[in-house]
Amino acid sequence: MKKVNKQMDAYIQKSAEFAKPILVHFRELVHLACPEVEETIKWGMPYFEYKGSSMCHMASFKKHCAFGFHKAELLSDSKNLLAKAKTQEAMGHLGKITSLKDLPKDSVLVKYIKEAAKLNQEGIKLPAKPKSIIREVEVPDYFLKEIKKNKKALTVFEKFSNSNKKEYVQWISEAKTETTRKTRISTAVEWMSEGKIRSWKYIK
110: left (phi over 0), alpha (psi -120 to 50) or beta: alpha
Number of domains making up the chain: 2
Q: Are residues 114 and 56 in the same domain?
A: yes
pLDDT at residue 126, rounded to an integer: 84
* Mean of pLDDT over the chain: 89
**Residue 47 belongs to some domain of the structure:** yes
Of the CA atoms within 13 Å of residue 105, those in its CB half-sphere come to 4
The 10s digit of each residue's pLDDT in 51-102 is 999 999 999 999 999 998 999 888 887 667 776 555 555 667 888 899 999 9
Provide the percentage of residues in the chain whose pLDDT is more than 90.
68
Q: Are residues 107 and 151 in the same domain?
A: no
pLDDT at residue 188, rounded to an integer: 95
Sheet of 53-60, strands arranged across: 38-42, 45-50, 53-60, 65-69
Of the CA atoms within 13 Å of residue 142, those in its CB half-sphere come to 8
Mean pLDDT of 26-40: 95
Beta carbons within 8 Å of 181's beta carbon, 6+ residues apart: 172, 175
Calculate ∠ Cα 61-125-122, nearest 5°: 110
Beta carbons within 8 Å of 12's beta carbon, 6+ residues apart: 19, 20, 23, 24, 27, 46, 60
**Residue 195 belongs to some domain of the structure:** yes
Please determine, for residue 204, whether its predicted confidence score (pLDDT) is greater than 80: no
The 10s digit of each residue's pLDDT in 167-183 is 999 999 998 899 999 99
Provide the percentage of residues in the chain whose pLDDT is more than 70.
90
**Residue 181 belongs to some domain of the structure:** yes
Q: Are residues 74 and 156 in the same domain?
A: no
Rounded to the nearest 10°, the torsion over CA 135, 137, 140, 143 is -160
pLDDT at residue 137, rounded to an integer: 85
CA distance 173 to 170: 5
CA distance 77 to 28: 22
Q: Are residues 117 and 151 in the same domain?
A: no
What is the domain extent for residue 171? Answer: 141-202
Q: In angstroms, how far is the first alpha carbon of the chain from the final one?
A: 48
* CATH number of the domain to which 103 belongs: 3.90.1150.200
One-letter identity of residue 182: K
The 10s digit of each residue's pLDDT in 48-61 is 999 999 999 999 99
pLDDT at residue 200, rounded to an integer: 86
CA distance 160 to 130: 24
